[in-house]
């Protein structure tokens, strides 16, 4: 693979099975919970990617010991929990562009206290963190901005937690609430801690992942709908012993969509009907588009029933996987509308603008709004050179535009900067080639 670009030949049919890499969201949550726990944790099938490498390096800089064991079937990471007391009281931490790493880690370091700096790539310094910092500082932590207020880089000093109630906005990123929930047991030493959500909570399935994992580590969270959460005092994270990382449901979306567009059947292994990830609901969106979906405990399979039906739906609950729906819309029988996706604008790039720009290159008619995108498919998809904006999901999404090759008579799709998939799925293009017939 050329680092500057990859050329994808037209593919008329896809078929096969793909073993998914571990979930990014689950991997980085488990890493931090393991580090904060009492006891040692064995993590099976942790995702190997840029975002998890960032978290592992940060934990090591903080004095958390971990080792990686290669096995016949995958990897086991052994993490020695520090029971909420970090060995290193000062560290300078590079967080790349990993929102799933910087947000919970900021909260943990702010509550534990010390002398820490956190920074990342330029795009990370454009991704909001102010609502989280405001919630933390209102409770008594001492987090300062060293660049633009409301954004990393950050400098964390020793504070003193005095609050018993915190409130945080829910409508920018669910990661702010995730971060507070994960550190709430560290704050609830003498008193219960309540966290109130201000405004609508977006991306609720990601909060479900957080709550599920917190409970796996032995802490009980009380819940009043999606408005308020309570953690009783005196709870400590306990090692679950061994914990398995599910396959990444967001990554599954590309292969399921491929089966939907170009025949199939395509089966993804590592997620299924028992998944704790909301992005498995992507399969239901494909079903609305007329795709035949079957599910087992640990697998999902998609096959095409012909032309896809256009869709008009609210995708607030699955913002990452919804990007793949915008590509599937190129193969639908009319105009598709994806609604309530404002969070796209504060992700790895402004994904509404990026998606609109690149979809137009291949011939689609696109209307974009503050929180929606409308895609009208072209009669024939035009070959194009796709820019990826240093965004892994843009690269993976637009690989699908090489499908249905019969319509395009040998035209090549070029994807610029394909190595950006390393953020979550370094082997993506090899896995995609393996199902392309």
Digit-coded pLDDT (tens) for 334-363: 999 999 999 898 888 899 999 999 999 999
pLDDT of the residue at 437: 78
Nearest CA-CA partner of 130 in 146, 109, 145, 118? 145
Render pLDDT for 14-32 as a digit per residue (tens, 0 to 9): 999 999 999 999 999 999 9
3-state secondary structure of 332: strand
pLDDT confidence of residue 348: 85
Place of tokens 């086991």: 76
Does the CA dihedral 37-166-129-428 come out positive or negative?
positive
Render pLDDT for 167-223 as a digit per residue (tens, 0 to 9).
999 999 999 999 999 999 999 999 999 999 999 999 999 999 999 999 999 999 999
Condensed to tens digits (0 to 9), the pLDDT of residues 124-163 reads 999 999 999 999 999 999 999 999 999 999 999 999 999 9
| Domains, the chain, with CATH or none | 5-21+247-435 (3.65.10.10), 24-244 (3.65.10.10)
pLDDT for 346 equals: 83
Count of H-run helices and E-run strands, the chain: 12, 23
As to burial, measured by CB atoms within 10 angstroms (0-12 exposed, 13-18 middle, 19+ buried), residue 242 is: exposed
* pLDDT at 390 exceeding the cut of 70: yes
Confidence of residue 231 (pLDDT cuts 50, 70, 90): very high
Q: Cα separation of 171 and 257, whole Å?
A: 28
Extended beta strands in 126-203, E state: 142-145, 154-157, 165-169, 193-198
Local confidence band at 301 (pLDDT 50, 70, 90 cut-offs):
very high
Q: Which of 50, 51, 279, 320 is catalytic?
A: 320
Distance from C-alpha of 105 to C-alpha of 315, rounded to nearest angstrom? 28
Q: Which of 389, 315, 385 is nearest to 355 (CA)?
A: 389
Does the structure show a pLDDT above 70 at 9? yes
| HSE (side-chain half, CA atoms, 13 Å) at 177 | 32
Predicted local distance difference test score (pLDDT) of residue 95 = 97
Per the structure block, which two tokens stand in for 266?
């395509």
- Distance between CA atoms of residues 424 and 131, nearest Å: 26
**Quick check: 375 and 330 in contact, CB under 8 A?**
yes
User: What contacts 292, CB < 8 A, 6 or more positions away?
Assistant: 302, 303, 304, 305
320 is catalytic: yes
């Amino acid at each position: 693979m050329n680092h500057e670009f990859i050329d994808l030949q037209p593919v008329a049919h896809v078929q096969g099975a793909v073993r998914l890499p571990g979930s990014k969201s689950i991997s980085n949550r488990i890493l931090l919970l393991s580090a904060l726990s009492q006891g040692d944790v064995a993590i099976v099938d942790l995702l190997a990617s840029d975002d998890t490498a960032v978290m592992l390096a940060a934990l090591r800089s903080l004095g958390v010991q971990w080792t990686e064991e290669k096995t016949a079937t995958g990897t086991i990471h052994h993490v020695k929990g520090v029971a909420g007391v970090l060995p290193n009281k000062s560290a300078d931490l590079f967080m790349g562009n990993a929102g799933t790493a910087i947000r919970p880690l900021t909260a943990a370091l702010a509550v534990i206290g010390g002398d820490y700096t956190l920074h990342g790539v330029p795009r990370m310094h454009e991704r909001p963190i102010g609502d989280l910092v405001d919630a933390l500082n209102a409770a008594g932590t001492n987090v300062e901005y060293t660049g633009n207020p409301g954004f990393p880089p950050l400098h964390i000093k020793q504070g003193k937690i005095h609050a018993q109630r915190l409130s945080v906005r829910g409508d920018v990123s669910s990661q702010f609430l995730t971060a507070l929930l994960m550190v709430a047991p560290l704050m609830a030493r003498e008193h219960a801690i309540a966290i109130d959500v201000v405004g609508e909570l977006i991306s609720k399935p990601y909060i479900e992942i957080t709550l599920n994992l917190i409970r796996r580590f032995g802490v009980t969270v009380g819940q009043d709908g999606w408005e308020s959460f309570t953690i009783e005092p005196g709870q400590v994270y306990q090692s679950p012993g061994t914990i398995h990382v599910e396959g990444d449901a967001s990554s599954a979306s590309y292969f399921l969509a491929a089966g939907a567009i170009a025949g199939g059947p395509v089966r993804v292994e590592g997620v299924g009907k028992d998944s704790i990830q909301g992005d498995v609901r992507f399969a239901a969106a494909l079903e609305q588009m007329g795709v035949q979906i079957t599910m087992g405990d640990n697998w999902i399979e998609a096959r095409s029933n012909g032309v896809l039906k256009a869709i008009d739906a609210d995708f607030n609950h699955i913002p990452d996987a919804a990007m793949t729906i915008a590509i599937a819309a190129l193969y639908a029988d009319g105009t598709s509308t994806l609604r309530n996706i404002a969070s796209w604008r504060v992700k790895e790039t402004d994904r509404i603008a990026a998606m609109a720009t690149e979809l137009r290159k291949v011939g689609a008619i696109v209307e974009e709004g503050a929180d929606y995108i409308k895609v009208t498919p072209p009669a024939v998809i035009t070959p194009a050179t796709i820019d990826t904006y240093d965004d892994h999901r843009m690269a993976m999404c637009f690989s699908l535009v090489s499908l249905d090759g019969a319509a395009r008579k040998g035209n090549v799709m070029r994807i610029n900067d394909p190595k950006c998939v390393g953020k979550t799925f370094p082997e993506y293009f090899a896995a995609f080639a393996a199902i392309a017939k």
